[in-house]
Copies of this chain bind each other. A is one copy, B any other.
């Protein structure tokens, strides 16, 4: 079966039909129409075999996750996802693998209103690049640079689950099903992102770990933050794993959670329960923005907790 046949069979028509997609397959480019008054948010992320996932990773989960990590960036901007393109590099034309991958990708695309509008299938070491575009009312995108001293620092969901699943799997254990699902099928917080428009002063998604990602908000906003370790939202498997001081890197510095971290003016704290309800996820205040630069994590006794690593960085020496 040829490249064109494989694409036609497994990678076309994925996701939700959309009236703003004028052409999705069968030409040199896709053609898309943007409604006046909407800005386009664009992001791209690559997953490489052996770096971001195990080579024997379930292809259906990989299809889901490769889309999810991109939609998470759209959520962090308050954008509604619309169109995605997929560049897939495979060592061989394994049709079963491709069918499973397409199924996982399509599951998430359908449930989030996304249409796959373009792609490229090439031979080579297994690697997946997704580029996603979302729409946001003009001028309403959430940015990283708007946090102000006094703002509350909030996170959605729980922290460290994906990191714990990965640690268990790296040690050769079977990961707990619930946290393994968090690693393999993260839920992009799209409804939260749109609910935070005009409410949050800044937002980012947690892909590299809280310290690293919140650090980007602080750098963009020109301020610092105090985080209370005891307030971090944890599932019971992660709580149980925190036997020593160094284990706190799980919720603070392990990646792949794909929750949102955002800042909220203190006067809007009363809105959190309603936001959590409309976004269908827990929201937790974990600290506050301060004018002094730097990110401090405070132990229950108020002393400062320090830790060498700050996040996941591919090329750090």
Listed in ascending order, the chain A residues whose CB lies under 8 Å from chain B are 1-4, 6, 22-23, 26-34, 36, 39-46, 48-52, 73-74, 76-77, 79, 83, 85-87, 89, 92-93, 117-125, 127, 129, 131, 134, 136, 138, 141, 143-145, 203-205, 220, 313-317
Q: Is the CB of B313 within 8 A of A44?
A: no
Question: What is the count of identical protomers in the complex?
Answer: 2
- Choose among B3, B42, B76, B86 the residue that contacts A118 (Cβ–Cβ < 8 A): B42
Chain B residue at smallest Cβ distance from A117: B42
Q: Is the CB of B4 within 8 A of A313?
A: yes
Q: How far is the CA of A1 from the CA of B316 in the complex (A)?
A: 6
Q: How far is the CA of A185 from the CA of B284 in the complex (A)?
A: 53
Q: Is the CB of B122 within 8 A of A314?
A: yes
Q: A6 contacts which chain B residues (CB < 8 A)?
A: 315
Q: Is the CB of A123 within 8 A of B33?
A: no
Chain B residue at smallest Cβ distance from A26: B220
Q: Is the CB of B122 within 8 A of A51?
A: yes
Known: A26-B220, A28-B43, A205-B28. A48 touches B89 (CB 8 A): yes
Known: A123-B51, A314-B121, A315-B6. A40 touches B33 (CB 8 A): yes
Known: A33-B40, A315-B6. A26 touches B123 (CB 8 A): no
Q: Is the CB of B39 within 8 A of A141?
A: no
Please list 14 pairs of residues, one from A and one from B, whose beta carbons are closer than 8 Å in the complex, sorted by A's number.
A2-B313, A23-B141, A26-B144, A28-B76, A29-B141, A34-B34, A44-B87, A48-B122, A48-B124, A49-B124, A51-B123, A87-B87, A120-B129, A125-B127
Q: Is the CB of B144 within 8 A of A29?
A: no
Q: How far is the CA of A300 from the CA of B8 in the complex (A)?
A: 37
Q: Is the CB of A30 within 8 A of B2?
A: no
Apart from A27-B220, A124-B125, list 12 A-B contacts with CB within 8 A.
A28-B43, A28-B74, A28-B144, A29-B73, A31-B39, A31-B77, A32-B41, A34-B34, A34-B40, A49-B124, A51-B122, A120-B129
Q: Is the CB of A127 within 8 A of B30?
A: no
Q: Is the CB of A23 within 8 A of B315?
A: no
Q: A40 contacts which chain B residues (CB < 8 A)?
A: 31-34, 40
Most B-side CB within 10 Å, residue of A31, A50, A52, A317: A31
